[in-house]
Structures are given as C-alpha cells and as structure tokens.
Structure 1
Amino acid sequence: MRSGVKVAVVGGVFVVVAGGVGYGGWNLWNGVTGGDRTVGVRAGDTPKTGPVTAEETTATSREFLAAWAAGESDRAAQLTDDPVTAGPALLSYKEGAKVARSVITPGSPTGTKVPFTVRATVTYDGVSKDLSYASHLTVVRGKTTGRPLVKWAPAVLHPRFTAGASLRTGTAKTASVKAVDRAGVELTAAKYPSLGPVLDALRQRYGSKVDGTTGIETWIDSGSETVPDTTLLVLKKGKPGVLRTTIDAGVQAAAEKAVKGYGQAAVAAVEPSTGAIRAVANNPSGGFNTAFEGAQAPGSTMKIVTAAMMLQHGLATPGGTVECPATVAWDGYTFQNLDRFKIDGGTLTDAFRRSCNTTFIKAIVPLNKKGIEGTALGDTARDSFGIGLDWQVGVRASDGSVPASESTETAASYIGQGKITMSALNVASLSATVKNGGFRQPYLVAREVDDRPFATADPLSSEVASGLRRMMNAAATNGTAAEAMAGVSSPKGAKTGSAEVGDQATSNSWFTGYSGDLAAAAVVQSGGHGGDSAGKVVAGVLKAG
C-alpha cells in the first residue's frame, strides 16, 4: 500500500488505517495492489537477496494488514512465510471469533519490526462488544522467492495466541470461576497480573466442579487438553462459581511487587506446616508460569539436599570439621569456589553458610566405595523432599528432577548444576521441608475439591532437621544470605545460589528462605549472585507474611 494510491471505498465493514487514511471494502486487496502481485518468481527472474529495505517493510506490512482487515485470510496468508499455518489461523479470526468489524492501525516500523493495534467488534447472538489489543509483526525475505514476507508467528494474530490455537466466540466451554484467597478476597488478573494464567487454568480444571453457569465469550482455544484456554472478551456473563484457593492476597501483592524490579523473575511462597501455596508471581506476568513450571538448574540452593544427604549417610555433622579447599578435581575437571576462597579448619555449617562448593563435592568420595555416588542425591531428594514425585498442585507444575548421574555430572549435581532441574516452587518446598521437619506437598486448591492424591515423603529425622535449620540460620544471619535477610523476622533460615546456564554472561540468581510459617524461593534470570537480586525478591515476600 504505497502513498498516492487512490482506493475506492466499496461499503465494506473491515478497515485498515494507514497514515491517517481509512481504506474499506471486501475488495480492498485488488483496490490497493491492482490484483497483479505474483505469488512466486517469474521464470528467468533472479530472486532478490540482501536485507529487507524500509520501503519493503512498510509496503508488505500494510498490504498484509489490509488483507487481514478485509477478511481475505487466504491472500493475507500468502503474504507470510508460512501460508499453510497462517491461513487457518487468520480464518478463525473472522469466522471462528465472529468479528463483524475490524480496524487495524500500523505504527512506525523499527527496522523490520512493525507494531500495530487492533480494534475489533465481535457480534454473536445479537450481542456486540469491542475487543482491542496491540501486537507486532516482522518482515523477512523469502528464502526461495526473495520476496519480502511477514514472518508468521501465532502472536501476530494476538499476543496470547499459541501454535495450534484458534479463536472462538460462543457459549463458553465451562462456567467462569470467581477465585478467592484463603480469607475470601477475590483474586483477579487485573489486580494480580501474575495470576492471569493461573486463573485460566483453574477455570478449565474446576469450572465444572463449582456452582456456576456458562456465558457467551470470545476465547483462544488452545487446542490442547493440558494447556488452558484464554478468555479474551465476555459478551454475556454467566454466573461464576466460587473457588477458594490457598493464596494470601497480601503476600501475593508483595510477590507481584518484588518481581517487577527485574526483567525476568519468578517467585513462589509456601506454608511449611501445610504445603499451602501463599503466592506465585512472574515477570513478565502474562505468559509461561515460570514459578510453577520452570525447569532450571537451581545452583547452590541444592546444597540443602546435599547437606541432608551428607547427614543421612554419616559423612559429616553440622559442627564437624570438613575440608574446603580453593579447588577440587573430579575426573579430570577442576571445580572451584567463588574467587577461589578456602576455609581452613571450618565446620560443615561454615561451609554451608559461605556456600563452599568444594566441601560438597569432596563429600562424594566416600560414597564411591558404596557405589551410590550417582544415585544418593536423587534418593534423598525424592524420599525426603518429594522432588520428582507427582505433585497434584491443582494446576500444571513441575515436580523437579534429580536424575542419576555419572562422571563430572555427579560432582556438578551436588552443587545444583548438571542435569538437575527445579522451579521456584520446588526450591521453596526445600526450605519449607526443612522448617517443618518433613515434606508437605505444595497445593493451590484443597484436595477435597476433586479428591486428587497428594505426594508424600518420609519425614526428616530430628537430628537431620535440626542440623539443616542450624545451617540455614547461619547462612541467614552470618553468611551469604545475611544481607538479604537482615530485616526478616526470626526464626529464619536461607540459602543462596547461582547457576551458570549455557552461554549466559551472567549466572542466574537463586535464593530460598523461610521466616516463621512461610517459605519462599525466587530465580532471577542473569541476576548474578543469589543475594544480589533473588534474595531481595524472597525477603520482600517473607516480610509480607
């Protein structure tokens, strides 16, 4: 759509706005392009190469948006690099979502990226409502044709659209749910943005189990039984059923505020005595629930489990002397402490509070003689902390994984690297287990609502539990976690962690701790040392408890 083109408006209802000029009509495509745009490359022509130009970006994006706005899904799809996938998705926008009118306004390109806004009117069963949102597209050069094309991605259609999804308007699949916290305070995505995906998941799972009636809505149908649908617009309200959760609105508000200080962060909080989840927050807030579903190396927060394993196998005691050299070798690989520090004549508690890597790796050596060096950590994680068991939280959540290991991966696993993966919820549960003296499976909805089974684990012995609390308290009061936990009430305990991931220049920051009957854990992507960023997030949550 180039400047100076004259377009006849032919009574259509779809409109694209470009440069302040409105274009309308179901025949918009031919009016703008003259109907002579070839899909392929003419025989003898050499496909154009090189970066997409600014003129190509503007023209291609506007032509695509014009075709989309005109309801010409096939033609719009041919302007993408994946018309087979784009076509059905664009068709669902018009026919599945029952869009009666759409105004699409492109913004100023930044390189080959073009932002745009959509103002649509959805009409169904005599009811009409407006749906507005913003998204963006990117223009690329076709690999075989050399043509400038819109790079197709589900988010072009709507920022919450995913692969395999479709747009639908009609009678909702399930009744809406009015989720409330443990005291009856209503929980909404508007007030608590991180709960948006959680509330969608709760509705999909429990909408039919609470006393409510369905309404008329526009939603993103995920196309998957395991991924919740996303409601975009309510045309006619049904009666929502009330679902009580374990969330504490005050702690949730603190968690939302705490993660906002970082580009990518997640935090979860659990009540040690019961396993009840008091808060979950992510930044960004509207997409993947990293706090529950993340699977990342937890770094030195794993030393909570390693220390438990050492105590259980009689490898050390909290007050017993251990080695903490600057480096330690394992199968030809050298592991070291931060800045190669060492502790001479220190105890296991000293090694824990200062997060001495080499102490926890050297502890593996006696297990070699028993032939369990690659499995002992996983056994303790599962049998004492519930990691890897089937956690029936109420929504999708990772169970954590501590697989058997070999060679250098075994050494790495004892300091939370290797193949070990955890979510913030998993790591919060580690602290909760220590504080309580035994594992209580975290949960968001009471088991009585749907009679689902909870995972169970063996309680910690009194000696192991008290030893771990002693070490975590030392870290929180006179160790790597002390600065972050300075204003947190006693009784308290904590553990810092940092995890090196791939080619990241800065490690991920991990932190977990407890205060009273509340435990929390956070991860901040590329956040550095545990106390630097994740520690501040956890402290903010614990203070609210």
Structure 2
Amino acid sequence: MRSGAKVAVVGGVFVVVAGGVGYGGYNLWNGVMGGETSPRSNSAQAPRTGPVTDEEVTTAARDFLAAWAAGEPEKAGQLTNDPVAAGPAVAAYHDGARVSEAVITPGTPTGTTVPFTVKAVITYENVSKPWSYTSRLTVVRGQTTGRALVKWAPSVLHPKLLTAGATLRTGVAKTAPVKAVDRDGTELTAAKYPSLRPVLDTLRQRYGAKAGGESGVETWIDSGSESVPDSPLLVLSKGKPGTLRTTIDAGVQAAAEKAVKGYGSASVAAIEPSTGAVLAVANSPATEFNVAFQGAQAPGSTMKIVTAAMMMQNGLATPDTKVECPSTVLSRGTTFQNLKKFSISDGTLTAAFRRSCNTAFIKAISKLSDKGIADTALGDTARDSFGIGQVWQVGVTASDGSVPESAGSETPASYIGQGKITMSALNVASLSATVKNGGFLQPYLVARELDDREFATAEPLSREVARGLRTMMTAAATAPDGTALRAMSGLASPKGAKTGSAEVDEQETSNSWFTGYSGDLAAAAVVQEGGHGGDSAGTVVAKVLAAG
C-alpha cells in the first residue's frame, strides 16, 4: 500500500483513511482483507444461498467502505448489487465533491443494516473545510453470484442523494445565497423553522439572482432536475446574500410548526383570504418533500364545500332547502353510508353540511344526471369557482389539485372527496379562503412582480352562493351538533369550518382533514391516520388560526 492511505482498526472499529494526493488508484484489497480470499477466487466457489450471515454483513460493509474511502470506484461498485450505477456514483462523489480526505467509521450492524460516519475534507482551489455526516447501507445476497453485496442506492453515499440523477458538487454556487424574510422583515431560517427548508432552497434556486446577492463556494446536492431544488450542504466561503421578502408571517409559521409537531405525519397551510398570501406552511416530519404544498391526497368531506357550491350553482338546493339524509344510499351500484349510519329527518342542506351527511350530497347525482352533467359538474365548479386544477404559480413547487371527470361509482365517491380527487393542504386551505373572500385568489409565497409569472384566476362566487357557503361553514363551526364546534370554539368571528376524513386503501384508520377560517386567516390540515376531522386535524388548524 502506498503512502497517503491508511487502513486500521481503532478501538475495535474499522477505520479507513484515504488522504491527499494518494486519493484513488490504490489496490487496498489485500490490506483490507488481511490476505483473505480475493473476489476472483470467491466467485469460483459454489454460490451461497439463504439470508446473509452477521459475518458476511460485517465483511461486505467493510470492504465496500474501504474501496470507497480509497477512491477506487470500480472496486466499490463490484461490491454492490448494481456495479453499473454504483461505480460511476462513487467516482462522481470524489471528483464532483472534491473530497481530498475521508475517514469512514462503521457502526454496530442491526441485522443487515450497517450505519457509518463519514468525516471528510473538501478542498476547492485553495480552500479546505471539514465535513461530516452519517449514512447507512444494507447488505443483501447477490441473486446470481450468491455473494454478500451492498444493496446499492445513491443515499448510501449521502442520505440526501435520493434520486439516480442527483450528484454531489463543490464549486462556485450556481445561485447566490438569499436572506429570506417574512412579510415584516423577520429573517426565516431552516434552523428556526424546519418545515421551510425545501421552501428556502427553492426560493434560492429560483430567485437568488434576482435578490442581488453574490455567490460563494459551496458543496451541494445537484438534483439534476429543474423542478427539484438543489440542497446546500457545506459553505467553504460565504457569498453575499440578497434579501428576499416572502408572504410568510413568522408568528403564524411558528404556531404551525408547533401544531404539527405532535403528530407523526401531519401538514398544514395557512392563507390570508383577502390577498391569497401564504402565511404559513408546516410539515411533520419536516423533510425535503413539502407535503403541505405538494401532497396529492383524497380530501374527504372537506370537498363538500365544492359539492355544496355545485348544488347551489345548478339550482338543486339552497342552505334552507329540505334534503334527504338517510343512513345509507345506493348510487351507481355501490352503497355509501354516513358515519355510524346516522340519519337526519326533515333536515336542510345546512344541517346535512354541518353534520357532514354523505348521503345527502351523493343524492344530488340523480338530479344532475337528468341534466347530463353528473360526471363533470363537480370538476367544472372546482376549476371555475375555486381554481382547483388550474396552474398555480405560487413561487415554489406546489400541486394544483385535481378533480377529474368521473364515471360509474367514482362519481358519488368524488362528491364526498374520495375517488380520483387529490388535493394538498394548500389546496384545501384555499377552499376556505375562497369562501371567506367570496372569490378565488391564487395563493402565493413571493410577489408575482418578482418574475412576472401568471396567476390562476376563477369567476367570483355569486353573492348567493358565497353567503350560502359561509352560512353552512359557520353552522359547522358554531352549532351544537356541528362537527367542527369543538375545534373552533374560542376562535374569533367571523368563522367557519368543514371537517373531513378520507379513507385510504390498506389503512385501518382514515386520514383526518380539517379546514376553516377565522377573521382574515384560513387554514387546512391533514393528519395521516388521524381519524375524524374534528379531532387531530381540527386541533392543528385551530392552533394556527389562533395565532393570526
């Protein structure tokens, strides 16, 4: 072994050190294996079968990490189950990230998974800086050779390398850093507001050049896609950040972060109805994927806001019209029922709305079928009155929502927010904001003047429809039998809300949805497997609305 690389056991832990000019080109196999069987002779043995043993896990992990640390991409690749992808990726790690030294320390295996710590030095031109992180690998048995091999995934090299096209890069940053501030000038950082990390990354990528900053030298994850923001990892020399004002309200954002933190998987978004400005977005867990903006899930009975609007716009009912609410209804060959099969005798559309009667809204199909629009009316209302399905240019990546034309039993399911309908928390928050405002204003996070992007538009709600929807949402939030009463109690008027629970295949418990407004603030939340909408999701929304 040449000078510049060391292989040793330190305190019972295998450590590989590859340093300086010697990084790459070493044959570390004998030094690493201590004279054990080489890959060539190993391949001559009869292929082994069955689960990998503890010894195989330790050896496979050790050998792969040694080859990686020594800068031997081909050898490292051959120690995985996908050498075609792994070899170039290991080479790109060294060349793209400018790693000049690496110490890789395996931890204690758990089954077939081996955690490890990387302590490296990044060098670009005359600037060097230490860099450390943790990752993990899994050992599997090769399907053809029977050898114990590292199961290849880009995340083995770094946990944020989540796609095949993503790579590590070090150099002059592609965009200047930005100092994002809230609507009042308070600085927004990922350290203080973890849910904003993907938002801030996207804002930098899209608007860094427009904010007036100067680029520094950094190490980052290059996503390889214009639609996915790059992720900064290490700053070698600071650039000069430009200031970028957002619509976020730091106080509401802090409340949103705290509200979702109590749940394993939850998202919330808040909007100012009078302007469309996004005041908060939060997710638990706070990951690189912004579920509150980009999620695409069935919204459950929060969709009844749109269904009720559709019924009023097509002359089927007003808030005071008597409607049938039986415990069950057969529609297009499928039986639908209310929660615990409750029914309402001699009730109005408002009563059906505030108690979230599924059957009353599904029964609208028969009258719309007579008009020949049962399969399309809901999507038309969603698009033309609520902006759902149009292109929303929020300033960062966001889902537009989808209410497609339906057929068969999908139509009655869609009337209660199931079927093929998908929305995000931002989309559902916009439903409440539209009702409160009397018309749709596309949500946005940065001013449209910054890049002259086109906003989605919709026809204002008629005075009668807007008033009717507010009447029903207020009843749900204030009536003794309203499903949103408990969550909305104590919040300032004017206020209104709608609960929802969405059934998901292979989930025993439904997703909890809730949307509402209080004053000039609207919000929506979804809690995965949270049950009834008035419970977990309602608690999240109430805490956010209270902060406004």
Give the alignment's TM-score, normalised by structure 1: 0.95
User: C-alpha distance in 2, partners of 1:9/1:210?
Assistant: 49
Residue number in structure 1 paired with 2:487 = 484
- Offset of 1:213 from its aligned partner? 0.8
The aligned residue for residue 129 of structure 1 is 129
Q: Which moved more, 1:26-35 or 1:67-76?
A: 26-35
| Counterpart code for 2:150 | V
Give the C-alpha shift of residue 441 in structure 1: 0.2
2:110 aligned partner:
110
Question: Could you say if the C-alpha distance between residues 82 and 16 of structure 1 is closer, same or farther in structure 2, counting changes exceeding 3 Å?
Answer: farther
Corresponding residue number in structure 2 for 1:154: 154
Question: How far apart are 1:38 and its partner, in Å?
Answer: 2.2
The aligned residue for residue 21 of structure 2 is none
What amino acid is the match of 1:91?
A
- The verdict on how the C-alpha distance between 1:410 and 1:266 changes in structure 2, with shifts beyond 3 A counting, is same
- In structure 2, the partner of 1:3 is none
1:267-346 maps to which residues of 2 (within 5 A)?
A: 267-346=268-347
Which residue does the alignment assign to 1:512? 515
Structure 1 residue 42, shift from structure 2 partner: 4.2
Per-residue deviation, 1:9 = 8.7
SS in 2 for 1:530: coil
Q: Is the 8 A contact 2:29 2:38 kept in 1?
A: no
For 1:307, what is the secondary structure of its paired residue?
helix
Alignment of structure 1 residues 181-192 onto 2, 5 Å:
181-192=182-193
Paired with 1:172 and 1:456, the residues of 2 have a C-alpha distance of 36
Secondary structure of the residue aligned to 2:323 is coil
**2:12 aligns to what?**
19
- Distance change >3 Å, CA 206–CA 496, structure 1 → 2: same
C-alpha change, 1:13 and 1:101, in structure 2 (3 Å) is farther
Q: Structure 1 residue runs of 4+, over 4 Å off?
A: 13-18, 39-43
Check whether the contact 1:15–1:103 (CA below 8 A) recurs between aligned residues: no
* Structure 2 SS opposite 1:475: helix
Residue of structure 2 in register with 1:525 after alignment: 528
1:93 aligns with 2:81: no
* Contact 1:250-1:544 within 8 A present in 2 as well: yes
Measure how far apart 1:71 and its partner are. 1.6
Instruction: Give the paired residue count.
Output: 537
Q: 1:40 to 1:469 in 2, by over 3 A?
A: farther
Q: RMSD of aligned C-alpha atoms?
A: 1.7
User: What is the alpha-carbon distance in structure 2 between the residues aligned to residue 452 and residue 123 of structure 1?
Assistant: 39
Where does residue 463 of structure 1 map in the other structure? 464
Deviations 1:443-468 (A, max 9, x none): 00000111111111000011111111
Secondary structure of 1:322's counterpart equals strand
Counterparts of 2:360 and 2:11 in 1: how far apart (Å)?
65
Q: Assess if the C-alpha contact under 8 Å between 1:47 and 1:146 holds in 2.
A: yes
CA positional deviation for 1:299: 0.6
In the superposition, relative to structure 1, how do residues 183 and 13 fare at CA in structure 2: closer, same or farther (>3 Å)? Answer: farther
Cα deviation for residue 39 of structure 1 reads 6.2
Tell me how far 1:394 sits from its aligned partner: 0.5
The residue correspondences of 1:324-473 to structure 2 (distance < 5 A) are: 324-473=325-474
More moved, 105-114 vs 214-223: 105-114
Q: Is the 8 A contact 1:10 1:27 kept in 2?
A: no
Residue aligned with 1:378, SS: helix
Q: C-alpha separation between the residues in 1 aligned to 2:59 and 2:474?
A: 63
Task: Indicate the residue corresponding to 1:248 in structure 2.
Answer: 249
Tell which deviates more after alignment, 190-199 or 32-41: 32-41
Q: How many Å apart are 1:11 and its aligned residue? A: 3.3
Q: 1:21: Cα distance to partner?
A: 5.1
Could you report, residue by residue, the CA deviation over 1:273-314 in whole angstroms, capped at 9, with x for unpaired residues? 000000111112122111111111111110000010011111
Shift of 1:241: 1.0
Distance in 1 separating the partners of 2:458 and 2:370: 27
Cα distance, 1:222 vs. partner?
0.8
Q: State the Cα distance separating 1:83 from its structure 2 match.
A: 1.4
Deviations 1:420-450 (A, max 9, x none): 0101100000000000000000000000111
Unmatched tracts of structure 2, length 5 or more: 19-25
Give the C-alpha shift of residue 10 in structure 1: 4.3
CA separation of 1:97 and 1:14: change in aligned 2, threshold 3 A? farther
The residue type equivalent to 1:514 in the other structure is Y
Distance 1:185 1:138 in 2: 43
Contact preservation (8 Å) 1:221, 1:229? yes
The 3 A distance-change label for structure 1 pair 383 and 18 is farther
Q: Distance in 1 between matches of 2:476 and 2:266?
A: 23
> How far apart in 2 are the matches of 1:505 and 1:41?
48
Using the size of structure 2 for normalisation, the TM-score is 0.95
Kindly provide the amino acid, as one letter, of the partner of residue 12 in structure 2: G
Q: Is the 8 A contact 2:14 2:106 kept in 1?
A: no
**Fraction of identical pairs, as percent:** 73
Q: Equivalents in 2 of 1:9, 1:337: separation in Å? A: 75
Amino acid corresponding to residue 495 of structure 1 in structure 2: K
- In the TM superposition, what whole-angstrom CA distance separates every residue of 1:62-91 from its partner, at most 9, and x where no partner exists? 222222122222211211111111122211
